[in-house]
Amino acid sequence: MIELDQVTKLYGTVIGVNDINMSLPPGTYGLLGPNGSGKTTLINLILGQLKPTLGTVRLFGKNPWSRDSLLRKIGLCPATEVAFPRVTGYQWVKYLIRMHGFSSQAADQMARKSLAQVRLDHAMHRPMQNYSLGMRQRAKLAQAIAHEPDLLILDEPFNGLDPVGRMEMIQFLREWGSTGRSLILASHILHEVEAVHPSFLLISGGRLLASGSPDQVRSILAETPNTIRIRASNARLLASQLMEHPAVDEISILAPERGESGEILQVATRSAAQVYNRVPELLAAANIEIYEMHSADESLGHLFSTLMKIHRGESQGGTLT
Amino acid sequence: MRWFNSILATFQFELINFLSLQRLAVTAILALFPPVMLSLIFVGFRFTNGNFQFPLIVTVLFVSIVCLLGMLLWATPNIYSELEGKSWIFVASRPGGRISIILGKYLSAVIFGFAICVVAITGCLVVIQWMTGALKNPIWVWFSMNLLYLIGCLSYGAIYSLIGTMFYRRAMVVAAAYTIVSSIVLANVPAVISRLTLRYHLQFIGFNWFGEEMGIDIKDLMNHYSIADVPSSFYHLLWLGTAILCALSAAAWVVMSREYITSDET
């Protein structure tokens, strides 16, 4: 579906994306990266809105830069916010559908249908300027899906959505993926993207650092330096036993939150996976009750700093695919 | 048909977007400026017991100013207004969206600009006829003047659309500079270069159609440009039509082949 061959995009002397190679068959993809990492540039290269400085981009087998007709197959929900003072959501969505070449009558039906799909039909005749951020996000989604594209590209679609809205968005995207149509979801929030069950594309500093399934991403995290938090009934005993483990660098004991039982053990390790494997044995042998265990650094920021270190050769572990 | 639909959609959307109090106020001020100024000049001459000899020339001058201002305001920021409003990517990610936005906005700018001219011309001719009653064929003058300004709107709109696509960040400045250099400086130069300006051709069409009513001998104009005979209006219309087609084609080519980068690119 999408092929990028050694694609680099420069804005003058600033690097947008750097030497990206990837081949994506139809499917659901989560494009993850911190703000300013090159996600929007990559999307615009795929859409043919930008011309690569080096390399080639193929979308559905064709060069998107010179194939305007390819855009008929794509629905784009960009990150940018729009708010027209006198234009209603319905008028805006209908206008953008007509820009695909549909007649006014057909566009009217498609606009109503898509606005109902995103649950904005109750407010579709209100001026967009009066919309909340979440409502604008829904209107943007409506214009992207109205013409039933083969590939839906969403850039930060969860921005401004309340928890219910987020859940509905996740549900919608899951359903979209289950119909066999393709989806690229760009975000900087790991758990929201993860909820859609995509394959991951991890981008930072304009480089594609890694790609793979959620499990593969987790294994990268597990096999790299990390900090683990364990809340257990006898954390001090567990600490004394974990100290002997060669992968453990540092252990500290923290007081639990009010109302929580046990104590919190914070373990800094060179290989979280080894600690994760060892802990159950220790717990069973010493009869320690465990309440929770998770990585303290399981954030996208940590993941990317780790991947960048691996990329630069500063750290070992993790498999870049 | 598909493109026509897209252009029509852009035009209709621009109409909805246009209907703000601020824009309507600007339109009203522009449209009423020529007749009000003309009335004031007449009143001034009455106070001094003077004779206002060439009211039609002053009408052409005032209407030309508001016509150019209107086209400058609405045709020039075709790309920049989309980039500034962050709506460019929505349009550009549609097949033919880039060309549709140029032609749709051009069409709406021409119609808004021409509407101003119609009101201004009508107001001025009513004032002239009321104050002097000197127009021999006011209906013909009204009709031919409106037609001339429609051609003017189409011509300047096309050039400003091209400037808007090429110099989108400084489009208004470049368009204003173009207008001053081309329509004020070059168009008055008694040399071949003046024939490359829109004003040269528009003014000859004007003189051919209602020059007699203006009270100026066309030989003065011929002497100024050192030409032996006056080409027909058809020649000038052909030249302007070609210029419009070239400018719009160039604008379409530029908008299709250019990257418009917004601050959101990361």
pLDDT in tens, A71-80: 888 999 998 8
Q: Is the Cβ–Cβ distance between B165 and B258 less than 8 Å? A: yes
- % helix, strand, coil for chain B, step of 5: 80, 0, 20
Boundaries of domain holding B103: 2-257
Considering only CB atoms, which chain A residues are within 8 Å of B98?
68
Half-sphere exposure of A27 (CA within 13 A, CB side): 14
**Per-residue pLDDT at A317 exceeds 50:** no
Output the CA torsion A146→A151→A153→A154 (10° steps): 60
What gap in Å lies between CA A158 and CA A186, rounded to an integer? Answer: 10
CA angle A37, A18, A300 (to 5 degrees): 30
Please check whether residue B230 lies inside any domain of the structure. Answer: yes
The set of residues, in sequence order, having a beta carbon less than 8 Å from that of A159 and lying 6+ positions away, is A79, A133, A137
How many domains would you assign to chain A?
Answer: 2
Residues of A whose CB is below 8 A from B262: 80
Cα angle: A109, vertex A115, A119; to 5 degrees: 140
Give tens-digit pLDDT for B4-56.
Answer: 888 888 988 988 877 788 888 888 999 999 999 999 998 888 777 777 778 88
Amino acid at position B71, single letter: M
At A321 the pLDDT is: 42
Task: Give B-chain residues touching A44 at CB under 8 angstroms.
Answer: 89, 265
My answer on whether A173 and A240 are in the same domain is no
Chain B residue with Cα closest to A106: B5
pLDDT at position A110: 94
Residue A32 within a domain: yes
What is the end-to-end Cα distance of chain B in Å, rounded? 36
Last residue of a domain, one of A171, A192, A212: A212
A164 by Cβ neighbours in 10 Å (0-12 / 13-18 / 19+) ranks as exposed
**DSSP character at residue A314:** S
B263 pLDDT above the threshold of 60: no
Residue A5: which residues within 8 A CB-CB, separation 6 or more?
A21, A55, A56, A57, A58
Give yes or no for residue B264 having a pLDDT over 70.
no
**Regarding predicted confidence, which is higher, B218 or B202?**
B202
What is the pLDDT at residue A312?
Answer: 65
Burial of A218 (0-12, 13-18, 19+ CB in 10 A): middle
Same domain, A54 and A201: yes
The answer to whether residue A298 scores a pLDDT higher than 60 is: no
Q: Are residues A232 and A200 in the same domain?
A: no
Residue A320 lies in a domain: no
Q: What is the pLDDT of residues A233-273, one digit of tens each?
A: 888 888 888 888 888 888 888 887 777 788 888 888 877 77
Assess if residue B44 is contained within a domain: yes
Q: Do the bridges between strand A207-212 and strand A2-11 make them parallel or antiparallel, or are there none, so unpaired? A: unpaired
Phi-psi region of B69 (alpha: psi -120 to 50; beta: other; left: phi over 0): alpha
DSSP A227-290: EEEEEETTHHHHHHHHTTSTTEEEEEEEPPPTT--SEEEEEEES-HHHHHHHHHHHHHHHT--E
Least confident range from A102-116, A207-221, B136-150, B250-264: namely A207-221
pLDDT band with cut points at 50, 70 and 90 for residue A318? very low
Mean pLDDT value across residues B100-117: 93
Question: Is the domain of A295 the same as that of A159?
Answer: no
Look at residue A50 and tell me if it is in a domain.
yes
Of the candidates B5, B16, B265, the beta carbon closest to that of A98 is on B5
CB B93 within 8 A of CB A96: no
Q: To the nearest whole percent, how much of chain A has pLDDT over 90?
A: 16
- pTM for this structure? 0.81
Query: pLDDT higher for A210 or B184?
Result: B184
What are the pLDDT digits (tens) for A176-199?
A: 888 888 999 888 777 777 777 778
Best mean pLDDT range from A9-13, A64-68, B70-74, B85-89: B70-74
- Model confidence at B266, in pLDDT bands (50, 70, 90)? very low
**Chain B interface residues (partner A, CB cutoff 8 A):** 1-3, 5-6, 8-10, 12-13, 16-17, 19-20, 85-87, 89-98, 100, 256, 259-262, 264-266
A residues 39-98 near B, CB within 8 Å? 39-41, 44, 47, 49-51, 68-72, 74, 76, 78-82, 84-87, 91-92, 95-96, 98
Q: Which of A212, A246, A277 is the last residue of a domain?
A: A212
Residue B167's pLDDT band, with cuts at 50, 70 and 90, is very high
At B52 the pLDDT is 73
Q: What is the CATH number of the domain that holds A128?
A: 3.40.50.300
Closest-CA residue of A relative to B261 is A50
Overall average pLDDT of the B233-247 stretch: 95
A141 with A96: CB under 8 angstroms? no
CA–CA separation, A189 vs A32, rounded Å? Answer: 7
Report the distance separating Cα A132 and Cα A160, nearest Å.
8
Q: How confident is the model at residue A299 (pLDDT cuts 50, 70, 90)?
A: low
End-to-end distance of chain A based on CA atoms, in angstroms? 19
More confident residue, B143 or B84: B143
Query: Which helix (H) or strand (E) covers residue A76, if one does?
Result: strand A74-77
How far is CA A173 from its chain centroid?
12
Residue B262, in any domain of the structure: no
Q: What's the pLDDT tens digit per position in A118-131?
A: 888 898 899 988 88
Higher pLDDT, B120 or B136: B120
* Position B263 in a domain: no
Parent domain of A188: 2-212
Is residue A111 in some structural domain? Answer: yes
Residue A91: pLDDT above 90? yes
Residue in A85, A91, A99 closest to B91 by CB: A99
Cβ distance B265 to A40 less than 8 Å, yes or no, reads yes
- In angstroms, what separates the C-alpha of B173 from chain A's closest C-alpha? 24
Amino acid identity of residue B174, one-letter, is V
Same domain for A140 and A286, yes or no, is no
Mean pLDDT of B180-199: 88
pLDDT higher for B129 or B191?
A: B129
Mean pLDDT value across residues A51-58? 90
Quote the number of domains for chain B: 1
**DSSP code at position A88:** B
Q: Clarify whether residues A133 and A260 are in a common domain.
A: no
Region B148-169 average pLDDT: 94
Q: What is the per-residue pLDDT for B239?
A: 95
